[in-house]
Structure 1
Amino acid sequence: MIKSFFFNVLLILGSLVIFTLMLEGGVRLAQAFDLVPVLDRKSLSVLGSTSEEHSAKLVVSKNSVLALEYDVNDPQINRFGMRDRPYELSASQGVSRIVAMGDSVTFGLGVALENTYSKKLELALNQEAPAGQSFQVMNFGVSGYSTDSELELFQLKARLFKPDVVVVGYAMNDPIHTSSLALAAAATMKTDTDFETLAKKSQLLAWAKMNWVKATSGLNAMSVYESFYAIESERWTSVVESMKSFKLLAQDDGFHLVVVVFPVLYDFEDYPFEGYRQQVLTLLNELDIDYIDLLDPYSEFRADKFRVMQNDAWHPNELGHKIAADKLQSYLEDAGLLVHKNETVK
């Protein structure tokens, strides 16, 4: 009877192995005919883009608040650490300057420089500018930056350009300190590498793992963010104090301040970050800081229409940047900050 039991167990296990191998073979055959995609290290990228295109090299900063800076030896980065063309500190006569502070969304991770909202805005403004007037929109976005890192970078570098308008791009992960995001990015890279190893061994197991991670990532993200948005937490306090400092700098220097709030690219109809979004908007209202909330204009499309990569819920593609640029242009016009072609430049 014992031999019969073990024989039946081995028979079941053997059948499962054969069935699994047949499924694996079926998946590989379907991939050979392009019926299903081949999974690789990029397929697991649920919480951020792993695209190396339209990115730049980051190095450790000596400044602990910045934590990271772009390598000025990277061909995409100018001598001031911007993903932008070279600039002189002093603007020529008739030039109005706008600086865009932010993280990888403002940097434009995954999209060409000319398709970022800063450059789309610059092009649109210059097309409408009268003779003798032009605009420079400077991209100071740095991947991984938190609001306090953006404030520090503004005070160290962007402020030197004496901007007329300062745009702060706010993403929902901005309370998280830059150094913490750097560690998370390193962990993500290891996870992607492990997934790539698994995918080489079995596309079937890789598919199962990918779908499990996708199914649980939203819940995991929400539980993590609760601590960062807790009212008395150190990280939310840093956002509050940084926004207060931006407001004071605007008053001292005489520039116009506006915050652009980017949504996370999840289901807009049942937006899981709605509570945090309202918390940010309430803060900006309390501080009397102008803002542009992009959730409503983005909601005219499905969230996945904005993603630079299928599984990247953070970084908007060219469409997302175009909407942000259009809304900023309309805001600047409504605020009376633009001179039109039929007006005289003084």
Structure 2
Amino acid sequence: MGMVRRLLLGFVWLLFVFLLLQLAGFVFYQFVVSRPISGYGYPTGLEQPHAELGYHYQPNFSARFKGTAYQHILIETNPQGFRDADFAHRSGEGLRVAVLGDSVVLGPGVEADERFTSCLNEPVTARAASAGQSVASSMQSLDWRVLNLGVHAYSFGHYVKLAELDFLGAEPDAVLLGITLNDFAPMQSVGPARRARRQAEGWHKPEWIARIQARIGRTYAARFLDELDTRLRYALLSADEREAYHTTWMRTVVEAWQQDENRERFATRLDQFTDLIEQRGLPLGILLFPELNALSDPATFDGPRQQVRALLAARDLDYCDPYDDFARQPDLDALFLVRDSVHYTPRGHQLLCEAIERCLEAGTLADLAEASSPGR
């Protein structure tokens, strides 16, 4: 009886501690006592092996981010396996523009309708009127439907393969390619591709265990403990170790762009992609994504962007570079997620949308602007 009593008391004590943590987590997240700093985390089951792409998203999937900060945000995929509405044709939809890219296009940490692709789908005149702005006549004539084909960790090899696979049923009339500065990475080397190989070969955690862990991770208690662990570990770091993860990542990117192998791979994949698009007769525009370190310290971090611009200019490719639009903002941190120099907040996505429209008006995305005009 003594053992049973001790076990019962232990269970009651654990339950009490769990309830306290639940309450603390509820207060922390629901009342925004402090801005969460832990990551977003892609939901279990989102990725699945793909014979040619290495991995892709599960079609008709629905789940929330599993990181501690963004569990209120839903990820839903369409029948083609992208985070967007069904790509089926709609009556009077205009030019179908497929936007290709990695997680920046996917939009972690923001709702689907807060991304720049959703903003581009809104009538320009209506948004300008609500903001008290005027719209140039060339912008009033845009007639398109923007399709989001973003998948996290995709790189140029994936974009080439998507073009070879006819964009997995998106059936675009034009393409806007979003470039992140590490897009030279080989397809097979990115983390999701390695996980997909392990899954295909049976070297993976059973699905039921992963789902139980995901369910436990959604409790306020688990999220709050994770948040406390992150903050404690950060507090114990030395000054040198406190350099943000994405600053370290960007240093790696700068070093990688100094290697001939990476530059040549990027240029080769760029040529392969543009050749495929040209063969299909599709108008093409290219979008460069501004990165926080390059904006804050261009002398140290802006080399890769300049090299990409040179590659695009040498090939006479239309591209939009919103770097200056971002650099003019008084609070750069407000444009990016917490402790993240790559992914944008809703305000960052809005600014990106406005920059793309500026590029269309200025003629730096001439093929897309011409193709999306009535009477094309």
Aligned to 2:202: none
Query: Please, which of 270, 280, 289 is the counterpart of residue 297 of structure 2?
Result: 270
Counterpart position of 1:62 = 50
- C-alpha displacement at 1:330, in angstroms? 3.2
Provide Cα deviations, 1:125-184, integer angstroms capped at 9, x if missing partner: 595767xx9521100000011111122123314275442321111112222235433179
CA deviations on 1:184-218 (whole Å, 9 max, x unpaired) are 998xxxxxx9xx98986896554122865332746
Structure 2 residue 255 is the aligned partner of structure 1 residue 255: no
Which amino acid counterpart does residue 109 of structure 1 have in structure 2? Answer: P
Normalising by structure 2, report the TM-score: 0.65
Q: Is the 8 A contact 1:175 1:228 kept in 2?
A: no
124 and 173 in structure 1: CA distance in 2 versus 1, 3 angstrom threshold: farther
What does residue 102 of structure 2 align with?
103
Q: CA deviation at 1:221?
A: 3.0
Distance 1:201 1:99, change over 3 A: closer
> What is the CA RMSD across the aligned residues, in angstroms?
3.8
- SS of the aligned residue for 2:95 comes to strand
Tell me which structure has the larger Cα radius of gyration.
1
Q: For the Cα contact (< 8 Å) 1:70–1:77, is it kept in 2?
A: yes
In 1: Cα distance, 2:227 partner to 2:121 partner: 43
1:78 partner SS: coil
Counterpart of 2:316 in structure 1 is 288
The answer on 1:51 being equivalent to 2:51 is no
State the Cα distance separating 1:303 from its structure 2 match.
2.5
Which residue of 2 is the match for residue 189 of structure 1?
none
Deviation per CA, 1:251-284: give whole Å up to 9, x if none.
Answer: 2222221111112222624223211111110000
Residue equivalent to 1:172? 181
User: Could you tell me how far apart the structure 2 residues matched to 1:70 and 1:143 are?
Assistant: 10
Compared CA separation, residues 123 and 284, structure 1 to 2 (3 A):
same
Paired AA for residue 250 in structure 1: I
CA deviations 1:52-89 (Å, max 9, x no partner) are 58x7853242335x22211114131111111111122x
Matches within 5 A, 1:181-220: 181-182=190-191, 206-209=234-237, 212-215=240-243, 217=245, 220=248
Q: Distance in 1 between matches of 2:102 and 2:230?
A: 36
Over 3 Å counting, the alpha-carbon distance change for 1:80 and 1:319 in structure 2 is same
What is the rounded CA distance, in whole Å, between the counterparts of 1:137 and 1:203 in structure 2?
Answer: 39
**Residue 12 of structure 1 aligns with which residue?**
none
The aligned residue for residue 271 of structure 2 is 244
1:221 paired with 2:249, answer: yes
**Which residue type is aligned with residue 312 of structure 1?**
D
Preserved CA contact (<8 Å) 2:87 2:170: no
- Look up the equivalent residue of 1:238 and give its one-letter code: R
Aligned pairs for 1:1-346 (under 5 A) are 43=37, 50-52=39-41, 57-63=45-51, 66-75=53-62, 76-88=76-88, 92=91, 95-124=94-123, 134-158=143-167, 160-182=169-191, 206-209=234-237, 212-215=240-243, 217=245, 220-226=248-254, 228-233=256-261, 235-266=262-293, 268-271=295-298, 272-301=300-329, 302-308=331-337, 310-333=338-361, 334=363, 335=366, 336-337=369-370, 345=375
Contact 1:58 1:70 in 2 (8 A): yes
Q: How far has the Cα of 1:94 moved from its partner?
A: 6.1
Q: Give the secondary-structure state (helix, strand or coil) at the position aligned to 1:209.
A: coil
Distance 1:215 1:247 in 2: 37
Unpaired segments ≥5 residues, structure 2: 1-27, 63-75, 127-138, 196-216, 218-223
Q: Letter of the aligned partner of 2:181 in structure 1? A: M
Q: Secondary structure at the match of 1:246?
A: helix
Q: Structure 1, residues 295-336: CA drift from partner, whole Å, max 9, x if none? A: 11000123311112x201110111221122222223334334
- Counterpart of 1:124, as a letter, is P
Partner of 1:17: none
Closer, same or farther in 2 for the Cα pair 1:151/1:312, shift >3 Å? same
Give the distance between the partners of 2:286 and 2:353, measured in 1 at CA: 13
- The whole-number CA distance in structure 2 between the counterparts of 1:78 and 1:143 is 16
Distance across 2 between alignment mates of 1:179 and 1:138: 26
> Structure 1 pair 223/323, CA: closer, same or farther in 2 (3 Å)?
closer
**Distance between the aligned counterparts of 2:359 and 2:34, measured in 1?**
44
CA distance in 1, matches of 2:187, 2:172: 25
Q: What letter matches 1:291 in structure 2?
A: Y
C-alpha separation in 1, matches of 2:233 and 2:92? 62
Q: How many aligned positions are there?
A: 289
Any gaps of 5 or more consecutive residues in structure 1?
Answer: 1-31, 187-192
